[in-house]
Structure 1
C-alpha cells in the first residue's frame, strides 16, 4: 500500500549534493515539502531554488552541522514550526575520510564517527516525537559496507554497521508508530560531504546512481501503513567474485 506525499514535510540531511540532493528533488517531485540540511549554505540554497523552480513543491534550506546537537534540534524545530509537522526524515549525511586503520589520524576517525553515527543519532532523537505524531517514516542511508566485511576503510564500514544496527533497533522500539527503513546501496557515483568523490572512479551506468537511491527513498516514504525494513541496491555483478 502507498500514500501520496502531497502535503507531507520531509527533512533531508546531507542535501548539498549527491544522494541527499537527489532525494530532496525526488521527494519534491512526489509532492512533499522539503527542508534541506547541510553545512554548505550556498549549495543547499541552490538545490532548494532549483526545486522551487522545477516542481510545484516548496523547499527551504537550513544550514546545519549534524555533529552539533543544538543545530540539529533547531533544524527539526524550524521544519515543524514552518510547515506544521514532520512526516519524513532522511538520515543521509555522511563522510568517508581516511582508509587504512594504521594510517588514519585520530581527527579523521573522530570526524567520521561524529558525522556518520552521532549525526544520525541527533537527527533521529530530534525527529522521533514529531514522526510519532504523524505516523511518519524514518529513512537511513546505509551501505553495502554495513553488511559485509571488507578490507577498504574499515572505520567507514563500521559506521554503516552502526547505522543498520541503530535503525533496526529504533524500529523495534518505535515500530508501532513510525516506519523505519535502511537503504543499502553498493558503490554510488556520487560526492561525499567531505569533498571525496566516486564520480571519477566509475562511468555512468556502471554502478548505482544517486537518482536510483533517491527513488528508493521515495518508495520507502510512500509505504503506509506497511514499511520496507531494509532495501539493498547492488550493481548486478556485485557478488560474482565474493563467494
Structure 2
C-alpha cells in the first residue's frame, strides 16, 4: 500500500450504490481513494475492499450538508497524500414519489436541497483549489431528471437541474485553469436509493436487465476523471434504451 500515489480521488456518497462501485473501480486501476459518507460501517467496508487492490483507502464519515465536515474530508485527503486529483460529487437523496406539493413534508424538501444542492456546493468549494493545482477532474453525478421534467419527483428533479447549471458555471471558471468538469446523467439505477423515503428501493422496483447499472455509471465517472489535454466531456448521458419512448 502506497502513501505517495500517482492519483487520489475523493468520492462522496461512497458507502453504497454508485459511490461504492466507483471507489472500487478507481482502486482497481491503482488510484488511492478518500471515501466520504454518513454511515461509518459500510463506508469502512468499502475502504477495505479498495485496499485489497493494493491502494491506500481512507474512510472519513462525512455529512455533506455540514460545510465543516466537508472541509475536513478534503483536508484529510491533502494532508495524507499531498494532492487531490479527482473529486466525485455523488452524495444525493430524493423524495417520496407522487406526493402533492401541498402534502410533501418540509423535511423532505430540506433533505433533498441540503444534500443535493448545498452538499454539491460545499464539496466543490473545498476541493476546487486543490484540483486546480493538479489540472484535476471534477465529476458531478446528475440525473436524466435534471434534463427533463419529473412530475413524480419535482424537488429531486429541480436539485439535479441545479447541479447541471452549477457544474456548467463552475466549468466556465475552472476550465481555463485546467480542471475538467463533467456531469454524468443516468436514468434510474437499481441501487438502495430510496430506502429512507419510499416503500421500495430502486433495486426492488427497476429491472436490472433493462436499465443503467451502477457499474455503467462508475465506468463513466472513471472515464471522465481520466480526461487529459485541452478538451473535456462536459456532459455524458447514460439512458436506458427505451427512455425516449416514455415521453
- Do these two structures clear the TM 0.5 threshold for a shared fold by scoring above it? yes
Which residue number corresponds to residue 206 of structure 2? 202
Which residue number corresponds to residue 235 of structure 2? 230
C-alpha distance 81-194 of structure 1, shift in aligned 2 (>3 A): farther
TM-superposition CA deviations, 1:93-142 (whole Å, max 9, x none):
00012332222111111111000000000000000100000010000000
Instruction: Please identify runs of 4+ aligned residues in structure 1 that moved more than 4 A.
Output: none
TM-superposition CA deviations, 1:34-60 (whole Å, max 9, x none):
01100001011000001112x122211
Alignment partner of 1:115 is 2:115:
yes
Unaligned runs of 5+ in 1: 1-5
C-alpha distance 95-235 of structure 1, shift in aligned 2 (>3 A): same
Which residue number corresponds to residue 166 of structure 1? 166
Could you say what the CA RMSD is over the residues aligned between the two structures, in angstroms? Answer: 1.2
Question: 2 CA distance for matches of 1:168 and 1:207?
Answer: 26
Alignment partner of 1:239 is 2:238:
no
- Alignment check: 8 A CA contact 2:181 2:232 kept: yes
C-alpha distance 14-193 of structure 1, shift in aligned 2 (>3 A): farther
C-alpha distance 64-241 of structure 1, shift in aligned 2 (>3 A): closer
Post-superposition shift, 1:154?
Answer: 0.2
Post-superposition shift, 1:161?
Answer: 0.2
Matches within 5 A, 1:119-138: 119-138=119-138
Unaligned runs of 5+ in 2: none
- Alignment check: 8 A CA contact 1:94 1:193 kept: no
Question: Which range moves more in the overlay, 137-146 or 188-197?
Answer: 188-197
Question: Which range moves more in the overlay, 35-44 or 190-199?
Answer: 190-199
Larger RCO (CA under 8 A, 6+ residues apart): 1
Which residue number corresponds to residue 33 of structure 1? 32
Residue-pair matches, total: 236
Post-superposition shift, 1:30?
Answer: 1.9
Question: 2 CA distance for matches of 1:116 and 1:204?
Answer: 25
Question: 2 CA distance for matches of 1:102 and 1:208?
Answer: 32
Question: 2 CA distance for matches of 1:102 and 1:198?
Answer: 25
Matches within 5 A, 1:21-100: 21-53=20-52, 55-99=53-97, 100=99
Question: Which range moves more in the overlay, 218-227 or 69-78?
Answer: 218-227
Post-superposition shift, 1:150?
Answer: 2.1
